[in-house]
Structure 1
Amino acid sequence: MKIIVSGGGTGGHIYPAVTIIRALQKKVDALEVLYVGTSKGLEADIVPKEGFPFKTVDLQGFKRSLSPANFLRAFKAIKGVIKAAGIVRDFKPDVVIGTGGYVCGPVLMAASLMGIPTLIQEQNVVPGITNKILSNFVSRIATGAIEANKHFPQDKVIFTGNPIRDEVVNTQREPGYSAFELDPAKKTVLVSGGSRGARSINRAMVGVLKHFAGSKRVQILHATGKAEHEDILRRIAEAGVDLDKFSNLKVYPYLYNMPQAMAVADLAVFRAGATGLAELTAKGIPAVLIPYPYAAENHQEFNARAIEKAGAAKVILNKDISAEILISTIEELLADDRHLQEMAERSHSIGHPEAAATIAEMIIELARNKQK
């Protein structure tokens, strides 16, 4: 069985793609994979490290206003479609899968026009424009949120939940405590603004870190994002906090071992990207969610509100974020063990750790139907 997988730009599109491939590898003995992304997205770094053959299509999203840059992007888009069609024609896949990002458009459109079975995996409550357009052409649509189903043709869409890595589900607490030199007797707050970091969260966290420095009951594991790291370290030092003196404060540029970090988290402070939320709910981690306000279609707020409605999170809008609000919210949630446990149970109840296996079966079925 041969598949092309396309997804790019952010970790939220790439990691679900990698997870789906890994799930297929468990079910298909002779699986040939080709990953198609862009040369400038995170996929250019992540995918080769995962060991998958990788080809690129140069493509950029259009600006939402009239701009001379759009003419150049339109020219690149035409070239991208031609190149994508060539890649699909040469590889001859049985199924083509898209997990989001502009690069999916030409790849899945080319496959669909060639009569090759196609599947898109939509992670968010409100779909992006690329997947809305593709939904009219693809064979199947797997959604990560039941609320997204109404945006797609009902004869194609199946709610599966979002795919998450096996290690997120399977990693236990003890290795996490050891990896980060944390105290099992303390409550652990995991803070992350996503793979690129979040300036508003990071700057509010300076005051939060100062507040909890030396705490006997709370420890904080904070991923700043690489671009923000040096600036935040400087701000923390200017606030009078010497991180070397407080073992309960851990500040990293990036958490490559996020599954271990999630394993020890009693509370998370996160953006509301679909992949992060899928992992939090699969682990049953209560959360304070601060949606990225400039996400397409404001999809992060819709994602966050769905988790809040389920009783698994508290939402703070980005415009309202401050050290004082974060401190009071964290203190309030950590002070009530019973309520925190209820949030954890509700979070776990809406998680879908089996999503990748379900999507893999959908892909296998599409390949079988093609061969008939």
Structure 2
Amino acid sequence: MNNNTIVLTGGGTAGHVSLNEAIIPELIKKKYDIHYIGSYNGIEKTIIGDKFPNIPYHPISNGKLRRYFSIKNFSDPFKVLYGTMQAITVLKKVKPSVVFSKGGFVSVPVVLAAKLSNIPVVIHESDLTPGLANKIASSFAEHIFTVFEETIKHLPANKASSIGAILRPDLFHGDEKIAEQLTGFDASKETIIVMGGSQGSAKINEVIKQNIEQLTKRFQVIHLCGKGNKDELLVGKPNYIAFEYVTNELPHLMKISNYVISRAGSNSIFEFLELKKPMLLIPLSVHASRGDQVLNAKYFEKKGFASILEEEDLTATTFMDSFNRLVDEKEEMIDRMFEVNASKTPEQFVDLLLTYQK
């Protein structure tokens, strides 16, 4: 094993890549040789390739893990098997001292390969209940770190610990002047940022469009609408600006935002909590996901950090009603947010992670 080499994996959504993205600079500072194993065309390839072009990216085959019947359930295990063989080849070549997995379908063959290669695996689970990929992979892991204390009961005994959210330091270095340059807005005016996840949300985009006149009368609106989803009819509208996708711009946009309308991915909502941004969460429904976002959102609502509007109940009217209630509850929500501090820096997490290397 090479004590200065680490393999990272995780993908399928930005949430399965963002932590890897955050810890890479810390690993570089510690002079680690970093390799990334991901899928051929997943979002992880774009994010890692664009931000860290010098990190070797090793694409492998992976099958989708489904909780429902599909004819592909018979062929996808062979894709996982092939991906495992590909991952073994990579691991034999680079000889890492540890493999870190953030989850997603592509992580399963990598974790299996590491176990077969006698390389320790560390996993991070962000959601209240583990995803299917992490649930399978946890049996082969040395340790599983969780964000929520409640998650531990769903994982193998004595192999999991809760460490809170791991937040990128750059999020706290937003600059109002840069935000004004990016948006053309006035940082002193109340601003809403709307986020539909890395792919955008057609339903959220639609209710924003339906209520745009009412919203922009009082607020400036920053709309992260997803790639290919920009509505040309709204381009140039006063107090409104749309971005298909942002990366380095996000800290600046968050700096001038007073309210957040968002899905309920764990990484994002803990960032909003730490930034003290009142949030209206519209989680992916159980019909479109395994229901993790609904659980995350309900947990935050129970703690008093967020308001929820279920996707099944989302209409132009219910959206405005829910948002107006959020505005009314803003001060109390921010007060509750200041009472908690449940996060770690990427640097602190890397130190924990590296205690498991071989």
TM-score by length of 1: 0.89
Q: Is the 8 A contact 2:280 2:326 kept in 1?
A: no
Indicate which of 67, 72, 75 corresponds to 1:69.
72
Count of matched residue pairs:
351
Q: State the secondary structure of the residue aligned to 2:267.
A: helix
Q: State the secondary structure of the residue aligned to 2:48.
A: helix
Which residue in 1 is equivalent to 2:241? 250
Q: Deviation of residue 185 (structure 1)?
A: 2.9
Change (3 A) 1:23 1:154: farther
Alignment of 1:33-112 (within 5 A): 33-51=34-52, 52-112=55-115
Q: Is the 8 A contact 1:271 1:292 kept in 2?
A: yes
Change (3 A) 1:317 1:57: same
Q: Confirm or deny that 1:347 pairs with 2:337.
A: yes
Give the residue type in structure 2 aligned to 1:341.
E
Q: Deviation of residue 189 (structure 1)?
A: 0.7
Indicate which of 325, 334, 346 corresponds to 1:332.
325
Alignment of 1:266-277 (within 5 A): 266-277=258-269
Q: Is the 8 A contact 1:206 1:323 kept in 2?
A: no
Q: State the secondary structure of the residue aligned to 2:129.
A: coil
Give the residue type in structure 2 aligned to 1:202.
N
Q: Deviation of residue 245 (structure 1)?
A: 4.6
Q: Is the 8 A contact 1:122 1:144 kept in 2?
A: yes
Q: State the secondary structure of the residue aligned to 1:297.
A: coil
Give the residue type in structure 2 aligned to 1:227.
G
Alignment of 1:207-222 (within 5 A): 207-213=210-216, 215=217, 217-222=218-223
Gaps of 5+ in 1: none
Which residue in 1 is equivalent to 2:14? 11
Tell me how large the CA RMSD over aligned residues is: 1.9
Which residue in 2 is equivalent to 1:32? 33
Alignment of 1:129-144 (within 5 A): 129-144=132-147
Separation of aligned partners in 2, 1:348 and 1:60 = 43
Alignment of 1:150-161 (within 5 A): 150-161=153-164
Q: Spell out structure 1 runs of 4+ moving beyond 6 A.
A: none
Q: Confirm or deny that 1:127 pairs with 2:130.
A: yes
Give the residue type in structure 2 aligned to 1:359.
F
Q: Confirm or deny that 1:318 pairs with 2:319.
A: no
Q: Is the 8 A contact 1:3 1:33 kept in 2?
A: yes
Map Cα deviations across residues 329-358 of structure 1 (whole Å, 9 max, x no partner). 223332x3xx31331243354454424233
Map Cα deviations across residues 225-247 of structure 1 (whole Å, 9 max, x no partner). 11322xx44xxx4xxxx65251x
Map Cα deviations across residues 147-206 of structure 1 (whole Å, 9 max, x no partner). 212212342212122333221122244432332221223211110101100111111111
Change (3 A) 1:275 1:351: farther
Which residue in 2 is equivalent to 1:363? 353
Q: Is the 8 A contact 2:112 2:137 kept in 1?
A: yes
Q: Is the 8 A contact 1:160 1:355 kept in 2?
A: no
Change (3 A) 1:346 1:93: same
Q: State the identity %.
A: 29
Map Cα deviations across residues 278-336 of structure 1 (whole Å, 9 max, x no partner). 221121111000001145430000011111111110010001111212222223332x3
